[in-house]
Amino acid sequence: MGNCQAIDNASLVIQNPTTGKSERLYSNISAAEVMKLNPGHYVALLLTTTLYSSRPPSVSEVTSKEKKADGDVIKKVQQQPLRITRIKLLRPTESLTVGHIYRLVTTQGMLL
């Protein structure tokens, strides 16, 4: 008992945001092999994901209106959390190691 999460550390995850699927591998693989299997994609190491919940309202946020009993209209701003994800693009010579999460990035989405 107690080894439930040991399998998570003994695998690597490759996320494909275009299809929404995640693939779990249980051994190291080179970035070049992953790029051959997924043409038109780079491989990136997922470093951190930070969720900011409180921020000042912006123009792009959704607003809704509510009517009070006396007929006044109140505007409500619905703040949506802001998610910032830091990634590191891998060279084809680098390898994907067990215990990390990787994400496929389209070559069209990368303007370096």
Domain ranges of the chain: 6-54+81-106
Beta pairing, strands 101-106 & 12-16: parallel
pLDDT the model gives residue 21: 93
Tokens of 46: 């997922």
Tokens of 83: 């998610």
Tokens of 6: 């040991």
Q: How confident is residue 107, by pLDDT bands cut at 50, 70 and 90?
A: confident
CATH architecture of 6-54+81-106: Beta Barrel (2.40)
Over residues 4-23, the pLDDT tens digits come to 555 567 899 999 988 899 99
pLDDT the model gives residue 16: 92
- CB neighbourhood size of 34 (10 A): 21
Does pLDDT of 62 surpass 50? Answer: no
